[in-house]
Structure 1
Amino acid sequence: MTPQLTNTDLVELTAFRRLLHQFPEVSGDEVETAKRITTELERLAPGRILTGLGGHGVAAVFDSGVAGPTLLFRAELDGLPIQEINDQDWVSQIAGKGHLCGHDGHMTMLLALGRLIARRPVATGRVVLMFQPAEEDGSGARAVVADPAFDAIKPDWAFAIHNEPGRPFGFVALRAGLMNCASQGLAITLQGKTAHAADPQDGVSPALAVAGLIPALNALGQGGALDDRFRLVTITHVTIGEPCFGIAPADGLIHATLRATDDSALADMAAQARALAQGAADQFGLKVDFAVCDDFAASINHPAAVEVATAALDALGMDHGPEGLPMRASEDFGVFGWGAKAAMLCVGPGVDYAALHNPDYDFPDDMIPVGAAIFDRIARDLLGS
């Protein structure tokens, strides 16, 4: 018989989720969150706990002692730099920061799974509970996988759940192939020379270069259907000079988010964007610099992992399908799929639920046992019990 979470479990896990919710930490700063997770994992007495993975990542290893595959389940540690607007008792206590994407709930689902595995170990192989840092800026999964300590827990299979408002409660969206687009934030800095506004010819202004680059960058990707030809450029921020009237500007800045359905297409588009910026800089006598932020690989579901997840959902009697997939939004879980058979599952919290990254979003605690049950069934189907 599959172990179940008790009422005591649910009360304790809910309280812990709400504690996490009150003290969000943004990407790269998840020091206290990692400590709280580590303390909870120690109570489960896994065979090994790794800390400091790729920054503040934490992993717990439950090893059966019998040869078999390594199965990794991932959650995210970080919150968002958004002020929460809610009136519940567990509202964020950190000004300007909030768990408004549900990562507090994802962490708690993984801890719930840990309780089930600790009570009834798997028969073969290993289960790794991976709490990764810095998902929101796309750097965390890459840093974890690149960490030499990750080699000791490198998985054969990897699974993750993300809540997705707009879907019925408990409905699971999944498909083989693309789940989330690749994307990259490209910052283009143009530098010239200031002059008096009465004598702009004495300076080197980026104004015309910026004015020309905006439509040129947009032309690289107009969106459309999410097929192999999908490309999208979104200009997210533009500035030139200072907010005054007496100075012809010297500096210009453009932030553009580039998005495509695969990593190679994104790389091609990024190269084209850089070439456009370099050409504009050369035309107007400017220097140009580039910086990359929020760099996300495409998240691709492996067919075998989708088959395993689908069988688990069928066994649990849960509705599922490919509706609303793939998604334009990015998710750095795809990096774990570079070396493992991986699948991301999107679970609905409700059709009319507040959207992710909205200031009034809060993870629904009723989803904790749902996610734990899915993960637990996948683990036992692959590893036995």
Structure 2
Amino acid sequence: MTLTNHDLVELTAWRRQLHRHPEISNEEKDTAAAVVAFLSDSGPDKVLTGIGGHGVALVYDGAAPGPTVLFRCELDALPIEELSEVAHASRVPGKSHMCGHDGHMAIVAGLGWRFGRQRPARGRVVLMFQPAEETGDGAAAVVADPRYQEIAPDFAFSLHNLPGVPLGDVRLKAGTVNCASRGMRVRLTGKTAHSSMPETGTSPRLAVAELITAFPGLGSETFADDGFRMVTVTHATMGEAVFGIAPGYAEVWACLRTRQDDNMASLCAAAEQLVAETAAASGLDHAVSYHEIFVASVNAEDAVEHLRQALDEEGISHSEEALPMRASEDFGLFGRSASSAMFFLGAGTTHPSLHNPDYDFPDDLIPIGARVFARVADNLLG
């Protein structure tokens, strides 16, 4: 697929407009509407809105029966204040596209233009603009939506830009590429007291200190091993911000991470046991809840082969270097019912890192990502 210069100007301008008006997870109503409006002239055969929240799926049917091939991107931005000086910087205080989802949307929108002009020979192409990737809620909500069965794919593909890799180079491998993770919120409840008589209350201070110190010790193995486990303390709070009250309540938050889904249950059990024993030692009640749950993203061998073929035919350099990654990605659930794979597209060796306040998606990646996806679709549906 070759996008014209006019196409690239339009896609770049649209990407920058999305960048100016970011919406965070589960709030992407206007972004979803912008997607539908932008691709309306491409004449999709079916448009599903509100799927899994604010998700949008556009379907382009082929002339003959064949497989369904889904290409997924993300709608949501992050709760980060942008600190760049680009002309298209975020106009929404405290929110910004610091992960490049605006660019991923532009890439997939380019596919919409392509298949609006020339339908696949057979089967169908589905463009999935997924909500709430950053919180891990989106893929689960999309897949659980009854309307997902209308577009249930045989193949699912996605990409993510990756700073630190040469611009336009690709990282791709079969097997696990992103870890499973989940947030663990621990609540400790005792009894407040006057700060002059702390002995009359039950303070969580020792338990908080113990958990902050002990949680990381639940990790094991090196990252190269399938048994890799990691616990990172991300937040802690205790009592009120006053001097006259000895605290009776505290919270400790931690992110649990494993390379394999099978190991997450045992890590959760070990962490819950640690919490129970620590709380009991201080005479505290405790409660545990889990949030932002990501399953491992595992690339299927046959889907990876389709990507490798497309990359070779497009003359794009690729390797397995830097994979798998510790970071999580809300794409793994699509692989539970389809042959799926994600590749990582280099954003430049000196480009600001993802989630940094000065990050901005490199527009030069729009035609590269669109070419790869279009080639995959042509090879599967031609």
TM range (shorter): over 0.9
The 3-state SS of whatever aligns with 2:6 is: helix
Task: Write out aligned runs for 1:90-101 (5 A).
Answer: 90-101=88-99
Alpha carbons 2:220, 2:227 under 8 Å: kept = no
Amino acid at match of 1:329: A
Deviations 1:267-297 (A, max 9, x none): 2211221121122222222121222222111
Out of 16, 28, 31, which is 1:33 matched to?
Answer: 31
Q: 1:63 deviation in Å?
A: 1.0
In 1, Cα distance between equivalents of 2:196 and 2:352: 51
Alpha carbons 2:71, 2:158 under 8 Å: kept = yes
Task: Write out aligned runs for 1:223-234 (5 A).
Answer: 224-234=222-232
Task: Write out aligned runs for 1:19-58 (5 A).
Answer: 19-58=17-56
2:207 is matched with 209
Deviations 1:241-271 (A, max 9, x none): 1233322110111010010001121122112
Q: 1:222 deviation in Å?
A: 5.2
In 2, Cα distance between equivalents of 1:117 and 1:227: 42
The 3-state SS of whatever aligns with 2:379 is: helix
In 2, Cα distance between equivalents of 1:250 and 1:65: 67
How many residues align structurally?
382
Out of 215, 218, 230, which is 2:216 matched to?
Answer: 218
Alpha carbons 1:80, 1:136 under 8 Å: kept = yes
- 1:177 lines up with 2:184 in the alignment: no
Q: 1:67 deviation in Å?
A: 1.3
Q: CA RMSD in A?
A: 1.1
In 2, Cα distance between equivalents of 1:120 and 1:226: 44
- 1:5 lines up with 2:3 in the alignment: yes
In 2, Cα distance between equivalents of 1:85 and 1:200: 44
Bigger shift: 304-313 or 213-222? 213-222
The 3-state SS of whatever aligns with 2:182 is: strand
The 3-state SS of whatever aligns with 1:118 is: helix
- 1:18 lines up with 2:16 in the alignment: yes
The 3-state SS of whatever aligns with 1:332 is: coil
Amino acid at match of 2:175: G
Out of 334, 337, 341, which is 1:336 matched to?
Answer: 334
Out of 90, 111, 114, which is 2:112 matched to?
Answer: 114
Deviations 1:116-161 (A, max 9, x none): 1111211111100000000001110011000001011011100001
Alpha carbons 1:222, 1:233 under 8 Å: kept = no
Amino acid at match of 1:358: N
Deviations 1:37-63 (A, max 9, x none): 011121110100000010000000011
The 3-state SS of whatever aligns with 1:264 is: helix
Task: Write out aligned runs for 1:221-260 (5 A).
Answer: 221=219, 224-260=222-258
Task: Write out aligned runs for 1:77-156 (5 A).
Answer: 77-156=75-154
In 1, Cα distance between equivalents of 2:323 and 2:344: 10
In 2, Cα distance between equivalents of 1:98 and 1:223: 36
Deviations 1:298-342 (A, max 9, x none): 000000000110011011111001000000000011110111110
Amino acid at match of 2:107: M
In 1, Cα distance between equivalents of 2:343 and 2:146: 28
Alpha carbons 1:233, 1:258 under 8 Å: kept = yes
Gaps of 5+ in 2: none
Alpha carbons 1:226, 1:261 under 8 Å: kept = no
In 2, Cα distance between equivalents of 1:63 and 1:152: 13
Q: 1:207 deviation in Å?
A: 1.0
2:282 is matched with 284
Deviations 1:190-227 (A, max 9, x none): 11100112222211111111122222221111573232
The 3-state SS of whatever aligns with 1:219 is: helix
Task: Write out aligned runs for 1:311-350 (5 A).
Answer: 311-350=309-348
Alpha carbons 2:227, 2:260 under 8 Å: kept = no
In 2, Cα distance between equivalents of 1:44 and 1:210: 56
**TM-score after normalising by structure 1:** 0.97
Following TM superposition, where does structure 1 have runs of at least 4 consecutive aligned residues deviating by more than 3 angstroms? Answer: none
